[in-house]
Amino acid sequence: MFAVTEQKPVVYYNYVGGEWTESSSKERLESYNPATGELVGCAQNSTVADVEQAIDAVYQAFQHSDWGCNPKRRYEALLGLAHKIEENLERLAVLLTCEQGKTIRESRLELAGCVDTLKYFAGAARAVFGRSIQLEPGNFGVIAKEPIGVVGIISPWNWPALLMIRELAPALAAGNAVLVKPASLTPAISVEIVKLIDEIPQFAKGIVSMVTGPGRSIGAAMGGSRKIDMISFTGDTSTGKTIMELATSNIKKLALELGGKSPNVVFEDARLDKAIPLIGRSIFISAGQICMAGSRLLVHEAVKDEVVSRLQDYAERLRVGNGLHESTDMGPVISQTQLDLIAEYCEIGRREGRIITGGYRLEGGDYDKGYFFAPTIIDDLPPSCRVVREEIFGPVLAVQTFSSEEEALALANDTDFGLSAGVWTSDVNRALRMSKGIKAGTVWINTYNKNFPEAEFGGYKQSGLGRTRGIDGLMEYCETKHIHFEIE
């Protein structure tokens, strides 16, 4: 559909056992800039045989290196990677924007998040504590935390750097070996980060491997492998369910961060000057392609007209365009397939509700080169509408109205998902009641999308299993062993 740039694209190889290797298929996996259609790079279109070779290499590295019992080495390796990313941040940010489409400002923030996460878990690598228990006279127990073994990480395309590092860092800090399968739409940024790992001598040879290629075959091979002890998957809920089925091959441990349909609940006493821009950003950041997007606006009837009017103004002022331009506020969506899906949901919204703004593909000039969709707000939708209930993964905000706190809580929980939520109120008692009542892994009060490596994140219901970040995120990648002494 689009012309390839005259500049020869970079060819990216698999990283297996500490060596750069070509896929046995000799085929390439091409990634394109969703803003311009230009070819960004060519990764390996790997086969099941390739991933099996990588699994063997990672398994051997775990068995024969001191990685799992050398926390100081792990600390130095992760800290070294943090520094490498800092040194290359602008170069990586440009590549991330070219490959994924997000704005250059978002790319810088994403990579800064990678650095912060690596620094946190570098320190955590030296603090994987167990405990001791005096069980009865002459009986003493040690509860030890040990690495699980080989961890397979399947990372997504929407925040491909941070969501890979978010799982890679604690898995390595806990002492595991890791095989990464990045998303097929964004392999280049992931391989470039692994290139930095290759430059750091503290990483045990082969302790990290990466294979690029189709998730349907490679992900299935990872899920079914008896040499992989745990799978960490970030992505859509339907694929997460498939991963769960595959994991029964050897009863793998799972960490799943899946879909969301997160509400921003705005009460009549909310500080709107603060709330409006943060609510707008929560749905239009990364063109809405983010799991914790605030894709549902639940607003009290007393302030609904003002809130919707101000959000409409916010949306219509956003500058949509090529993410490499510093003035761009929102880039394209990732692909034609995603664009078509978003348009389909907007047609449903047009039939069953009322489009406040947007609802169409942007066309003309440079827009015709990429996948640009107008920031969209839809009102007057019935609770059963698919636009209200399903994750769209696009810049589409569904508006719902409530008249009481009880109704607001019921609407917030009327979803299959439970990843995150925002509550906007000046009443601290109401904020506490809502935060305790909402069934979601994260509830932000008078803010949104604030994430820190030391604070756990994860979902209720069909938004996933387990937690990432924080102490619990580190413990996800550990086994617990009871060592019992009977003293004579």
Over residues 279-307, the pLDDT tens digits come to: 999 999 999 999 999 999 999 999 999 99
| Tens digits of residue pLDDT in 75-97 | 999 999 999 999 999 999 999 99
Choose among 331, 330, 317, 378: nearest CA to 352. 378
Residues 286 and 204 in one domain: no
Query: Which tokens go with 57?
Result: 């290499």
Catalytic option among 106, 110, 167, 257: 257
Range with lowest mean pLDDT among 33-47, 237-251, 347-361: 237-251
Is 4 among the domain residues? Answer: no
pLDDT band at residue 8 under the 50/70/90 scheme: low
* Residues 103 and 28 grouped into a single domain: yes
Are 418 and 469 contained in the same domain? no
Name the pLDDT band for 380 (thresholds 50, 70, 90): very high
pLDDT above 90 covers a percentage of the chain that reads 96
- Overall average pLDDT of the 149-158 stretch: 98
- Residues 436 and 317 placed together within one structural domain of the fold: yes
Sequence-distant (6+) residues with CB within 8 A of 370 are: 33, 34, 35, 36, 37, 101, 322, 332
Are residues 318 and 236 part of one domain? Answer: no
Token pair 């001598």 in the structure block, residue = 201
Q: How many CB atoms lie within 10 A of CB 337?
A: 11
Give the domain CATH number at 296.
3.40.309.10
pLDDT of residue 1 exceeding 90: no
Mean of all residue pLDDT scores within the chain: 96
Establish if 93 belongs to a structural domain: yes
Same-domain check for residues 245 and 352: no
Is the domain of 216 the same as that of 351?
A: no
> In terms of residue numbers, what domain contains 242?
10-258+463-483
Average pLDDT of the segment spanning 213-238: 94
7, pLDDT greater than 70: no
d(Cα 391, Cα 386) in Å, to the nearest integer? Answer: 9
Residue range 407-460, pLDDT digits in tens: 999 999 999 999 999 999 999 999 999 999 999 999 999 999 999 999 999 999
Same structural domain, 228 and 318: no
Q: Is residue 1, in this structure, part of any structural domain at all? A: no
Say yes or no: 340 and 470 in one domain.
Answer: no
Reply yes or no on whether 257 is catalytic.
yes
Query: Is the per-residue pLDDT at 249 higher than 90?
Result: no
Q: Are 22 and 57 in contact (CB under 8 A)?
A: no
For residues 59 and 162, state if they share a domain.
yes
Q: Is the domain of 393 the same as that of 250?
A: no
| Three-state SS at 159 | coil
Domain count, the chain: 2
| Residue 71 pLDDT greater than 80, yes or no | yes
> Residue 5 domain-assigned?
no
Q: pTM here?
A: 0.95
pLDDT of residue 4: 37
Q: What is the pLDDT of residues 170-216, one digit of tens each?
A: 999 999 999 999 999 999 999 999 999 999 999 999 999 999 999 88
Per-residue confidence (pLDDT) for residue 9, from 0 to 100: 76
One domain, residues 164 and 283: no
Residue 19 lies in a domain: yes
Distance CA 431, CA 303 (A): 18
